[in-house]
Amino acid sequence: MNLSLYHLVREPKVKQEKNPLLLLLHGYGSNEEDLFSFAAQLPDEYFIISARAPYNLPPYGHAWYAINFDAGMNKFSDEVQAKSSRDLIAKFIDEVTAAYPVDKERITLIGFSQGAILSYAVALTYPEKIERVAALSGYLNTDIIEKDFHDKDISKLRFFISHGMADQVIPVEWARKAPEFLKALGIKEEYHEYPVGHGVAPQNFYDVLAWLNK
C-alpha cells in the first residue's frame, strides 16, 4: 500500500470491526525497525504501525528533521522540517485510517526522542486525530506547535511521559517542563523518571504497558 511514509505493520491478534492504533515514531538517526522490535509485547488488540521518518541519514538511518551544530557545538533543530514532518504524520494518520480497519477515535502515538518531540507537536496541533501520547525520552518544543492550539478541544488528550535521569542527549530538566505545561492546560498526564541514560529501561516499558491497558 502506497502511503506517504514507509511503514511496518503488525495486525491485531484480536480482530475487531475497527481496532485501536499504536503509531510508533522512532528517534533521530534510527529507523522503523527500532520501536517495532517491541511490537510482539504490545497488547493484542492494537493495530501497530511503525513509520520511517522522511529524511535520510546515511548509511541507513532516518530523521524527522535535521539537527545542526554551530562552532560552539550548540544544537539547532530545523523547525521548518520539523513542522513539515508534523503535518506529514497527521496526513499519514488519515491515510492509515482509510487504508486499514483502524478506529480513528482511538489513536495512540508512541514516540522516542525526536519521535516523542514530534508526538507532542502532532497531538497538540491536531488534537482531533489523537487520543493518547507516550513520549519517551523527548521534550515539548512549543516552537513547532501551531500557535492557535489553545482554541482547539485538547481536553481528551492523555500523555505518558518518561525520561532517564542520566540522559546525556536530552537533559531530564527539559522533560520535566512538559507535565507542568500540560497540567496548566488541564490535560491528564503521567510522568516517570528512571535511573538510566537515553533509552527505554525495562521498567519504563512495563509502565507504558500498564498505562496502555488502563
Domains recognised in the chain with CATH numbers? 7-212 (3.40.50.1820)
Q: Which three cell numbers stand for residue 4?
A: 506517504
Phi, psi of 133 (to 5 degrees): -135, 130
Q: Write out residues in the chain with pLDDT < 50, as ranges.
A: none
pLDDT of residue 83: 97
The whole-angstrom separation of Cα 197 and Cα 21 is 28
pLDDT of residue 161: 98
The whole-angstrom separation of Cα 161 and Cα 159 is 6
pLDDT of residue 120: 98
pTM > 0.75: yes or no: yes
- Say what the alpha-carbon torsion angle 104, 116, 40, 96 is, to the nearest 10 degrees: 30
Bridge partners, 25 (sequence order): 51, 111
CA-closest candidate to residue 134, choices 72, 48, 59 = 48
